[in-house]
Amino acid sequence: MLSGSQTSEFAERGFVVVPQVVRDDLLDRAARRIDEVVAADPPAADKRGSHFYYLRTEDEPALMAPLTGSPAFALAEELAGAGTLEVPWQVQVALNIPPYSHRPGLPHIDAGNPEPTGEPVSGTFTLLAGVLMTDQLTENSGNLWVWPGTHLTHAAYFRDHGPQMFCAYPPVDLPEPEQIKGRAGDLLLAHYLLGHNIGGNYASEQTRRALYFRISALDHASRRDEFLQDPWLDYGPLRSQ
């Protein structure tokens, strides 16, 4: 179970890293499957930085097990409410290949349009669950960057300006970013509206590996506009606090 301080951290900062959620045997199976995926479609020899594979979860039991064969999915439902989340249909294998000298400028939220289009809101989800597949104990080792609290400032922006302003880069005031650190088997839970971005990998000689699952509440798709303006719409337990 999440502790009270972990739940409060998620509410206030928009993310929490829960240590050692996934067992070693599940990590080993998933790592072997990642090896197979990469070997079948390797990045170019000169590729540096981010490289992604998007796979259907129904075809990938070894990659799905770190989420549903561990406490990870149940921990996500502690934030959203038991029985309220859909099992995701897709898993992202995320690599960050060194040496990659990069510092992100701005955060984004996951939206296909960098600027507002006026089109109906699509592509949103409730939370991101990330399983670290390699140790990331120091900064600039392929870590994900996050901007704490921006789940709340993004929601305030959409309340003030309307969901028609939905885009990947809402113009909000930004705090100092942080880099996610942890060990293989740690679980990142992050609010959809939390600003984040890809970091560099120049303090490590190891390719950073992670699995990302984009998880939605059962009725999320029918109320995307409202969710953008109310960050706790899909989080019943947090609304009641």
Q: Which of 144, 142, 137 is nearest to 207 (CA)?
A: 142
107-145 per-position pLDDT tens digit: 999 999 999 999 999 999 999 999 999 999 999 999 999
pLDDT at 41 over 80: yes
CA separation for the pair 52, 102 (Å, rounded): 17
Q: Over the stretch 159-191, which tens digit does the pLDDT of each residue have?
A: 999 999 999 999 999 999 999 999 999 999 999
Mean pLDDT over residues 21-44, rounded? 98
Residue 69 — pLDDT band, cuts 50, 70, 90? very high
Q: What percent of the chain has pLDDT above 90?
A: 98
pTM of the complete model: 0.97
CB-count exposure of residue 32 (10 Å: 0-12, 13-18, 19+):
exposed
Residue range 5-24: average pLDDT?
A: 98
pLDDT band at 29 (very low <50, low <70, confident <90, very high): very high
- Contact present, 133 and 38 (Cβ < 8 Å): no
Per DSSP, the three-state class of 138 is: coil
Quick one: average pLDDT of 48-71?
98
- Whether the pLDDT of residue 241 is over 70: the answer is no
